[in-house]
Structure 1
């Protein structure tokens, strides 16, 4: 496999379609599509987008839950010549609107359920499958498709927003030729026709590997819902019914699925290849995987969004050495790496320096920001004329084996739940609250459980108000788990905030929490406190309001099941987000054999959470 398949992503998928249009391409919660059906539905979307003026380098928002329809929308945008901008439906509406505006989106591909919300952004809306062309007018749409100009390899294929150190997210613009270059290196490590599972969100480039590795090699892409992806029992049940050959996901996500002791690892692993990326891979997790599945190939991949998904890979040996970390690996095909010191000169092997990347894998740059692009993508003195290199900010050292080993960051950037987060961007959002004077944000917690703590000053402002303000403007992983209100920020002698002097984070509760009663309530409360790293929790504290995340909820469930020896589902926890509610549920009723759709339960919880936020903010949801 290689460049002869096509110079764009959709051309490579079309090549697989021509080989066998009846082969299954996508298995989603909403539909199972053959390659032929996927192409026809995507062409219908492309025709409608083209009629709206979408063409080469025009970003199009993709606001669709994880489903076959999401893949149809993505492929339709590419076939029209546009660049897809994936948007997680869990994002606050204000964040979605801001990203669409920042990208200059020409249209929005969405679902009927989200159409009303999407319409508020003033963009034309296209709903996959909501057209007569979908039902059989294929001759007409095929003719219109042929009238569209060809999409060059230099065209944008997607735009992804990453956290920005200046206080605003940055739109990384990636071209088809950069992504196909990544795929050409990946093809050397995988087999054609494998089935892949999309478990992580598609709004991060980590998830795209599963999509394009499957569809450009003639394999089947299994799209798991958000609920299936975070409930280890539902995840294992799906894998038992639909064997999957390969998947790529964040180590902390896998660790939560496998359980604290790794007991569930054997039920949540693919058959042939596991790729971990997005954050450091703990050797202990690899050993638990090996215990469950000694024959499984495990790889550690590394690459910032600006270098197109991944540019280093390491196949973990069967006998993992006793080491503190798993190496990042060696460059994929066509990638060149430079480990430079403060003087931007190469450092000797074994010496720590900053990792710089050179090669055809580098993204075009930051959309609409030529100055930021020029600052991040600088001329490479060691390369041919015109060569660029990207300074990752990651500190590495070269091992005797030739592999690169991660040694920390050269700045304040952190990884939370596998997402890149600039604390400065979060602090900037906190500072926009009308009652806040100064703000700062620091990470706390251990690897794989890292969370953010916000610190603010302001007379009369409360932690609940500030956190609610942030939750309505930031994705879940960027919302501080704890906000600390200070009378004044500690300062260094030169007048800057002294981050080392900021107090340890503690949860502020503005309402009576309620003390747990002896027995089951007390036992459950203790497990909650242990999971959240708190001294204690009250019976009326909502899990998500005191620092809980989806991954922590998975860990909470595993601990509850082990300690109480009871069947407890993720749906049950979403529906009973306090100790009091969960205790009452366990005491008064057994869980129904068939529960309502977990997505609806999540929606009810989200609605309730937003109501609490509005109350905390005095009704303000600007």
Structure 2
């Protein structure tokens, strides 16, 4: 099928729009992190309060925890629940699970205990890692529990890496999102998915603006993937806010006190920050915001009050590993002519298709599909739903897939994709669909 849409006063060259091919490393996450630690062993990797962990310290500590997990029975491909607050210990545990060949399953303490227990059973987790004391993990039932504290990050000396040979297409984590029915769906994201996100050329090509990234998102939200892996695979620093509940004042204070250079905000939080703490946003070199419809008023206020800050309007469901496209308002762009989905990230393609999976004409609404290396493997244990939402991509190379987002969109006269809303009328509440 021709990829140039014509027949109106303008046309869209879909092939050109989706010309995003970039060669990126095909290695598992922990190997890329260890390689980065070898290049910058004494640079700060994590900062939590007044405690900093260097790349070498994080590498050694996570090696030690990986050995502990293997001794506890974790084998390659096993899923391990992580029930920890934001802390140095969480990142050590996360890396340790990957180094042991496992798959981490972050659990949100704000969820009902019945749902947490269901998630552990649904994933077939073999172990739960937690910083809670006895009695705080009754939802795990008979599942073995490994309890950790701050000492997990205090490993010294040298440890021999386990050296498991993992495919980049092996699962790295399972993250749950709820659909319109309210039934949780475990999205399986692979090492390749996260590497493609974290090493996208935008981060390195934007003047190292992501060298000190604010890490405050709930660990079971996919934005935490950006907050941790983007800095950790490029020699940057993740600035962790440990409090379970964080208000606007604490975020604003952390930005200035810890010299944060980049952060992601949901559109709701971006709106609140724009109206109540806009001065703090001016200390950031780059802001990413997404997750829902962006307020034009809030965006214009930030652009006007923060002349040195690049603002990026991002789009992407959990199934596409945090972000799949972005619209940039650089420091030389302080006006908002229109909001759209921007351009696809590296190795990503986007299509607006009708019910027959044919490209719509410019101006005609259709459903948005996303393809490329950001696409998750599917939904854990739900092959029928996976087959329904992840289908063969008729416009890509043989064997490629595309994801049906459930979002309505259209091409505009400028060759940009505009978001029109949900096809199924879902709404978002506190980040959940």
Query: How far, CA to CA, are the matches of 2:381 and 2:245 in structure 1?
Result: 37
Unmatched 5+ stretches in structure 2:
1-21
Report if aligned partners of 1:236, 1:267 keep a CA contact under 8 Å in 2.
yes
Alignment partner, residue 194 of structure 2: 179
Partner residue of 1:244 out of 245, 251, 260: 260
Is 1:155 equivalent to 2:152 in the alignment? no
Q: TM-score, normalised by structure 1?
A: 0.62
The offset of 1:22, in angstroms, is: 1.5
Query: How far, CA to CA, are the matches of 2:154 and 2:70 in structure 1?
Result: 16
Report if aligned partners of 2:411, 2:418 keep a CA contact under 8 Å in 1.
yes
* Secondary structure of 2:137's aligned partner: helix
Partner residue of 1:50 out of 44, 49, 70: 70
Query: How far, CA to CA, are the matches of 2:410 and 2:153 in structure 1?
Result: 56
The offset of 1:6, in angstroms, is: 6.1
Is 1:362 equivalent to 2:375 in the alignment? yes
Query: Number of residues paired by the alignment?
Result: 407
Report if aligned partners of 2:199, 2:230 keep a CA contact under 8 Å in 1.
no
Is 1:289 equivalent to 2:305 in the alignment? no
Distance 1:408 1:78, change over 3 A: same
Relative to its length, the structure with more helix (as a share) is: 1
Relative to its length, the structure with more strand (as a share) is: 2
Partner residue of 2:216 out of 186, 199, 202: 199
Alignment partner, residue 514 of structure 1: none
Report if aligned partners of 2:406, 2:423 keep a CA contact under 8 Å in 1.
yes
Q: TM-score, normalised by structure 2?
A: 0.87
Is 1:278 equivalent to 2:294 in the alignment? no
Is 1:126 equivalent to 2:146 in the alignment? yes
The offset of 1:50, in angstroms, is: 1.4
Distance 1:131 1:245, change over 3 A: closer
Alignment partner, residue 398 of structure 1: 411
Query: How far, CA to CA, are the matches of 2:65 and 2:176 in structure 1?
Result: 24
Query: How far, CA to CA, are the matches of 1:246 and 1:214 in structure 2?
Result: 10
Query: How far, CA to CA, are the matches of 1:383 and 1:93 in structure 2?
Result: 42
Distance 1:85 1:164, change over 3 A: same
Partner residue of 2:395 out of 382, 407, 432: 382
* Secondary structure of 1:420's aligned partner: coil
The offset of 1:94, in angstroms, is: 1.6
Query: How far, CA to CA, are the matches of 1:363 and 1:254 in structure 2?
Result: 27
Alignment partner, residue 31 of structure 1: 51
What whole-Å deviation, never above 9, does each CA across 1:59-90 have from its counterpart, x for those lacking one? Answer: 11111111111111111111111111111222
Distance 1:130 1:316, change over 3 A: closer
1 or 2 for the larger relative contact order (CA 8 Å, sep ≥6)?
2
Query: How far, CA to CA, are the matches of 2:217 and 2:296 in structure 1?
Result: 21
Alignment partner, residue 113 of structure 2: 93
Query: How far, CA to CA, are the matches of 1:106 and 1:68 in structure 2?
Result: 23
Distance 1:327 1:114, change over 3 A: farther
Distance 1:89 1:253, change over 3 A: same
Partner residue of 1:116 out of 126, 130, 135: 135
Report if aligned partners of 1:56, 1:155 keep a CA contact under 8 Å in 2.
no
Larger radius of gyration: 1
Query: How far, CA to CA, are the matches of 1:306 and 1:81 in structure 2?
Result: 22
Query: How far, CA to CA, are the matches of 1:316 and 1:4 in structure 2?
Result: 26
Distance 1:120 1:335, change over 3 A: closer
Partner residue of 2:80 out of 60, 64, 69: 60
* Secondary structure of 1:368's aligned partner: coil
Alignment partner, residue 257 of structure 1: 273
Distance 1:123 1:340, change over 3 A: same
**C-alpha root-mean-square deviation of aligned residues, in Å?**
2.3
Query: How far, CA to CA, are the matches of 2:289 and 2:39 in structure 1?
Result: 31
Partner residue of 1:345 out of 352, 355, 358: 358
Query: How far, CA to CA, are the matches of 1:409 and 1:77 in structure 2?
Result: 36
* Secondary structure of 1:346's aligned partner: coil
